[in-house]
Amino acid sequence: MIYLRQNFSQPFLYSLFCNNILRKIANNKNNKGDSMKKKFVFYIMLLVVAFSTIFVPTQKGYASSLDDLSAKAVFLMDYNTQTILYEKNATERMPVASIVKLMTIELICEEIEKGNLSLDDTIIASENASSMGGSQVFIETGGEYSVGDMLKSAIVSSANDASVALAEKVAGSEDNFVVLMNNKAKEFGLENTNYVNATGLPATNQFSCAKDTAKLLKHVTSHDAYHKYSTIWMDTLLHPKGRESELVNTNKLIRYYEGCDGGKTGSTNEAGYCLSATAKRGNMRLIGVVLGAENSKKRFAETSQLLNYGFANFENKKVVDSNKTQEIEIKGCKQKTLTIHPESDLYIICNKKDKENNFSIETKLKEHITAPITIGDSLGEILVVQNGQVISSTKIISKDNIEKASFIDYLSYVLNDWCIK
């Protein structure tokens, strides 16, 4: 983003930039089959996206207060501990427009990780998918596309047609996919969320809230398949007939906000301008959500203000290191000791001004640990308690494979003990 502000600050240079983009598209010989309406809408979308990048506020200093945020709902959360750092109307149900696609993306990423879907798998675009309005990449009915290209289009350009194509690939129909979306919302504990479609296009009884959006983005951010595309600024989608569609990331923060590597925009008349974004600096990752902002400029500015506030006033401290091992004594096994370690790192979030951080670490091992034991077996848990509440936990797992002791092993133990005495 800094690059754009420096190089396109003059109207003439900005006009030249836009014209170059449009000329590239216009010169594509395979565009002749497109309808004039689609071409007009697509060109206008490109102009709006390019124009909006110039007027996104830069990062100047840090916010000490968030009282002046004007969005209808606001939420700021620490990623590692899910500690709420700031909230306003965080559980109020409201339309969130294309932020709905976060759940679509989540389900697709899960299918990929389960091995049920591959980025190279083919999707044949249905007439239903290709007819989607709003944000789109104009996929061709009957055209063959890869799952990867459709996922990229949904993540980068918030494409409704690509999102429906993905939904139909996984569940057979968008309606079936919506059932999966709502089931996953219940599993994640999204208490103020209900889905009606896979895109976020206006629909009766479709809603979410700022808190649920942050919790959902935390899950989405954990997937490698998501991060494969989430930081792409500009790219192209090649259609089966040779036509190209330009992809421009709707989340401007990935371009100019330090550490931002994901998020989702959304805007409709009923939802206003919405944004969920995540940024990481050092070992601290934050998630900020702004719903119902007055305009696009404000959603980016106020989300930046949220993140600035978090990074300026709070810090993460690692209190449990997953690489730290410990040996414990065990009985009835071929070995007398077992090496254990935490499954994952644990952190606390604390205000930089606080001199004391009231937290404790509780270790709970199983009372009876018996063989056989394999690497990765859960043998207990570690809890981090802050201000009387459990803020995070992780399993204690085995680092060794341990076999059950045989009669010969027991006899050997007795003889060794006898010899020593």
Active site residues: 98, 101, 158
What is the phi/psi pair of residue 270, to 5°? -80, -30
Furthest-apart CA pair in the chain: how many Å? 96
Taking only Cα atoms into account, the Rg of the chain, rounded to an integer number of angstroms, comes to 26
Give the residue carrying structure tokens 């937290």.
359
Among 386, 116, 320, 111, which Cα is nearest to 225's?
111
Contact 358, 333 (CB under 8 A): no
Q: Tokens standing for 36?
A: 């004039």
HSE at residue 341, side-chain half, CA atoms within 13 A, is 13
Beta carbons within 8 Å of 284's beta carbon, 6+ residues apart:
78, 79, 80, 311, 314, 315, 316, 349
H or E, element range at 114:
helix 101-114
Give the residue carrying structure tokens 């919790």.
215
Contact 66, 312 (CB under 8 A): no
Contact 275, 266 (CB under 8 A): yes
In terms of Cβ atoms closer than 10 Å to its own Cβ (0-12, 13-18, 19+), residue 293 is buried
What is the phi/psi pair of residue 174, to 5°? -65, -40
Q: Which amino acid is at 330?
A: I
For residue 138, what are the CA distances in angstroms to 19, 209, 323, 383, 392?
21, 30, 48, 50, 44
C-alpha torsion sign, points 94, 97, 102, 108: positive
Contact 365, 379 (CB under 8 A): yes
Please give the Cα distance from 62 to 307 (Å, whole number).
9
Q: Which amino acid is at 254?
A: I
* Cβ neighbours, 10 Å, residue 73: 26
Please give the Cα distance from 319 to 149 (Å, whole number).
40
Please give the Cα distance from 217 to 279 (Å, whole number).
11
